[in-house]
Structures are given as structure tokens and as C-alpha cells.
Amino acid sequence: MNENKFIPQVLETERLILRPLTINDKDAIFKWAGDPEVAKYMRYPLYRSPDDATYWLTHIYETEKTLDYGFVFKVTGELIGSGGLIFDTEENNWTLGYNIRRDMWGKGIVTEACRKIIEHARNNYDVKKIVAVFAVDNPKSGHVMEKLGMKFHCDCEYTKWDSSESFKAKKYEISFE
């Protein structure tokens, strides 16, 4: 990683260490990004090998307003997911995103991680609004947003970055003004 990049500080919750991602994480990332069930509603296309993470990992921290973290499960020491907030200069708000290995779904881990990341961002940045989008066919992601205090804003649609698929979606947001 380039030494001029911004690297977010390590955070900790009851069950997780939230740390910056590195190129050395690509094998762990492949465990979820290469899983068709996990990647189904993500904007990125299904990873075919750990090397598919290389571009993202080498460009992830190009701005100080990229608070993207690897979720390390304390019990095992394994990287089990990632997520965080990225500032959208065009929309003047923060966008929340996350994903996690399928075997860790339904345990409240994403909510725990995102709650800590939001708390950190609010304490250290001028966070006025956070938005997030989920596919209507993936309502469990919407439940995470609701647990974080986010509210329904509007119906929308999004397309995978490779244009292979589009999804009807719901946009949620939370304001701190």
C-alpha cells in the first residue's frame, strides 16, 4: 500500500476488531466475494479468484473519507467481512455498505460493526446524513439498516458495476442535523 494513503484507525467492539484492509486479505475476502449467495445482491460481480480483490485493495484508501474496515471475529481471529462509510461528494452524504461471509449471517455482526463505524464517523467527521440501499429481494440487509436507526426514504434501483444485473431496491437514510 502507498504510504501516502489515509489509513483509518483500528476500532473494537465486543466481538470484533475493525481494521483497515490490506492486499494480504484477498484470500479471506474471496471467501465471501466468491460466494454466489453473498455476492448475489452486491454491486461487484462474483469474484472468480482471490486476485479479483487486488484492484479494490490497492485503491481503497485514496481519501480520508473512506472508512472501510475488515471485520475480524475475535473468537477465531478470522477476517469474516467488511464494510463502512464512504463520503459521496456529489450527494454530500455518507454511504454505508457491508458484506459478510454466509456462515456469519444472522448473528448481529454487521449491525455491531456498522454501529461502531457510524459512532466513530460521527465523533470524528462532520456527518450530517448516511444513506444505504438494499435490494428488495434481500430484506435482511434492510433489517440491519433499521437496527441502525435508518428509515425508509424511497424506492429505487441499482445495477451491478459490470451491468450484468439490476435490482429493485429501497433507499434508507438517517440524518444527524
- Residue located via cell numbers 484492484: 55
Q: Does residue 159 sit in helix, strand or coil?
A: strand
The Cα 38–Cα 48 span in angstroms is: 13
Residue 4: pLDDT over 90? no
User: What number of other Cβ atoms are within 10 A of residue 134's Cβ?
Assistant: 21
| pLDDT tens digits, 136-168 | 999 999 999 999 999 999 999 999 999 999 999
**Mean pLDDT, the chain, as a whole number?**
94
Nearest to 139 by CA among 163, 94, 105: 105
Which amino acid does the sequence have at 159? T
- Residue located via cell numbers 448475489: 40
Element (H, E) at 15: none
Contact assessment for residue 84 and residue 98, using Cβ atoms and an 8 Å cutoff: yes
- Residue located via cell numbers 462474483: 46
Residue 2: pLDDT over 70? no
pLDDT band of residue 29 (cuts 50, 70, 90) is very high
* Overall pTM surpassing 0.85 (yes/no): yes
98 forms beta bridges with 83
pLDDT band of residue 126 (cuts 50, 70, 90) is confident
Give the number of residues written for the chain.
177
How much is the pLDDT for 91?
A: 87
Residue 87: pLDDT over 70? yes
How much is the pLDDT for 65?
A: 86
Give the relative orientation of helices 109-124 and 139-147 as an angle to the nearest 10 degrees: 50
pLDDT band of residue 3 (cuts 50, 70, 90) is low
The Cα 45–Cα 78 span in angstroms is: 23
The Cα 34–Cα 28 span in angstroms is: 10
